[in-house]
A and B are shown apart, each in its own frame.
Chain A
Amino acid sequence: MVRFKNRWFLVEFLPIPSNAKILSIPSTQSKPAAQLELDGRKIHSALKQSILANYGDVGWGAVALSLSVKYCSPTTNICIIRVGRDQHNIVWGALTLLDGLEDMKFIPNVVHVSGTIKHCQLAAIAHNRTVIARYRAMAKAPTTYQDSYETYLESSNREIEALQD
């Protein structure tokens, strides 16, 4: 059986002020930072540009049919991307070499790579929980406090679990 195998990436985008360096950091934003609006289409086009720039038409041709951005969450800045197994290195490399969307710079951090959608979903749900826990710890709210994050978690869990291949 020659089955078409995929790889599922769980990518986290960490936003960075564009001129933050190791010895100097821009003083607390003089203009309100343009929020990184994570959109599946924007990510797909940025990734396409990155593949075209680094691997050329050949690379894009190898990847194009199987590449798709399945899920995107603007709150926790994560994204699920599906690629064919034989070409996932190209997409992974292009993702690493990607450094920004429009004018906002970010660090792409591949959290999890898996062969099935199931484990990617589990990893995404676990990642969402840790990020929300981090937000809550920073806000120093008591653990049983019901806030808007709870509803967000539930809705995002439902969205993630609804993902189909």
Chain B
Amino acid sequence: MFYDLNIPIATTTSTTSSKKGKNKQIQPSNSPQFTNAQLIAINAHLDLLIHLGYTVVCFNQTVHKRVDPKTHVNALNELLEKLKPRQGILFLKRLSVILDEDSEKGFGLINANTSFFNSYDILSLIPTNQATFALACLTHTLPSPLTTHIISIPLTLPRFPFHLKHTLIRTAIKNGAVFEINYVGALGGESDSVLLEAGAADANGANGKRNWWAAAKELVRVTKGKGVIVSGGVVTQADLRAPRDVANLMTFLGLPQDIAHAACTSVPKSLILRAQTRKTYRAVFSEPTLVIPEGYSAPAQLPPTVTPDSSTTTSTAPTTAPPSSTQQVTSSSKQNKKRPREEDGVDSNQKQNPAGPSSDAQAQGGDKKKKRKKNKV
């Protein structure tokens, strides 16, 4: 079972909509975005991947700066319908957002857009400066329907963009995120066109190679090999490599052999399972069952804290994430640590009620504060 979690698909409409600016309203087009020639090329690429031994393959759509649900089209849904069906191969969809200074204020990964992001299996971020990196590691790895499970640091840039702070990385790994290394940089191959435009990858192959070795080694050093996955990012067919070859390359970065092999197999596997928990409440894997100890008599009046519990059981009931014994242990411990709270706006069942009055109150409070400041001035 070998995983390739980054097969970049650059679509034409997404790049043009970012160039045209914010003023023009572009209707999301439903016209086929992939020509026949492109489909043949993608099928050939997939044939090679399968020949080399990959069984799980994830298509990656990259967006620059921000995601606007009105104009952004999930091209991968359409692509998956058009690909020829293959036995025993799992296809996944992934969205990457490149973060730079303009995205610090917000880039569309908010609760209101949750339904739009549910069409992607995995979300990931590509931070390019210190502030967005801190944002990505701390806020966006917390369990929620919008967790970005993969943080992909651009490795081919000439000046390593920011200092990798050990505490930030440790928090991200504790929350379940992983850091991604794209092996295309080691070969000096061509990166995804959206990355090149956004300045997140070096166009010159030879320089990119040298920067890659330096940056990847640094990343491995800071993460101590823990939350690291290896993926392709390969655009040119000639840059594809078999998974064991890639694992051998990783040993030169300082990863011991078994961890290098795990970075291609077991770490992506648990990542995909964890990414499925975006559809559950607060990263709970399995359906919790209420166990009443013998000799316990329920009190006559139900205390108010019981109602959030019952609503969480109903919200996790329709999940189809495969439970396993070890995951149940970890999920039950997670559930104990993070008890559902009523004012938590993440749970969709309760989103309406508390969100309404609390946001109004905040708005009113804000207005009052503003008014007070004006009066003073």
* Chain A residues within CB distance 8 Å of chain B: 14, 16-25, 89, 92-93, 95-97, 99-100, 105-110
- B52 CB-CB contact with A under 8 Å: yes
Whether the pair A22, B7 counts as a contact (CB closer than 8 A) is yes
Collect the chain A residues with CB atoms within 8 Å of residue B245's CB: 92, 95-96, 108-110
Whether the pair A89, B248 counts as a contact (CB closer than 8 A) is yes
Q: In the assembled complex, how far is the CB of residue B212 from the closest CB belonging to chain A, in whole angstroms?
A: 12
- Contact string against A for B residues 228-267, beta-carbon threshold 8 Å, 1 for contact and 0 otherwise: 0000001111111110111011011000000000000000
- What are the nearest 10 A-B pairs in CB distance? A25-B41, A96-B245, A20-B237, A105-B238, A16-B238, A109-B242, A22-B45, A92-B248, A16-B237, A23-B38
**Docked pose: A14 CA to B244 CA in angstroms:** 16
* A-B residue pair count with CB separations less than 8 angstroms: 81
Collect the chain B residues with CB atoms within 8 Å of residue A108's CB: 241, 245
Q: In the assembled complex, how far is the CB of residue A46 from the closest CB belonging to chain B, in whole angstroms?
A: 14
Q: In the assembled complex, how far is the CB of residue A155 from the closest CB belonging to chain B, in whole angstroms?
A: 26
For chain B, the count of residues having a C-beta within 8 Å of the partner chain is: 33
Whether the pair B238, A96 counts as a contact (CB closer than 8 A) is no
Whether the pair A93, B238 counts as a contact (CB closer than 8 A) is no
| Residue of A16, A22, A108, A110 ringed by the most chain B CB atoms within 10 A | A22
19 contacts between A and B (CB under 8 A): A20-B237, A21-B41, A22-B9, A22-B42, A22-B45, A23-B10, A23-B38, A23-B42, A25-B40, A92-B245, A96-B246, A97-B187, A105-B238, A106-B238, A107-B52, A109-B51, A109-B242, A109-B245, A110-B242
Q: Given A14-B51, A95-B245, A22–B237 Cβ distance below 8 Å? A: yes
- B48 CB-CB contact with A under 8 Å: yes
Collect the chain B residues with CB atoms within 8 Å of residue A24's CB: 37-38, 41
Whether the pair A14, B38 counts as a contact (CB closer than 8 A) is no
Q: Name the contact of B237 in the complex, choosing from A21, A109, A110 (C-beta under 8 A).
A: A21
**Docked pose: A97 CA to B246 CA in angstroms:** 10
**Docked pose: A105 CA to B187 CA in angstroms:** 13
Whether the pair B235, A21 counts as a contact (CB closer than 8 A) is yes
- B8 CB-CB contact with A under 8 Å: yes
Whether the pair B48, A107 counts as a contact (CB closer than 8 A) is yes
Q: In the assembled complex, how far is the CB of residue B155 from the closest CB belonging to chain A, in whole angstroms?
A: 16
**Nearest B residue (CB) for A95:** B245
Q: Name the contact of A22 in the complex, choosing from B235, B242, B246 (C-beta under 8 A).
A: B235
Q: In the assembled complex, how far is the CB of residue A8 from the closest CB belonging to chain B, in whole angstroms?
A: 15
**Docked pose: A109 CA to B238 CA in angstroms:** 12
**Docked pose: A15 CA to B132 CA in angstroms:** 41
Whether the pair B187, A20 counts as a contact (CB closer than 8 A) is no
Whether the pair A107, B238 counts as a contact (CB closer than 8 A) is yes
- B1 CB-CB contact with A under 8 Å: no
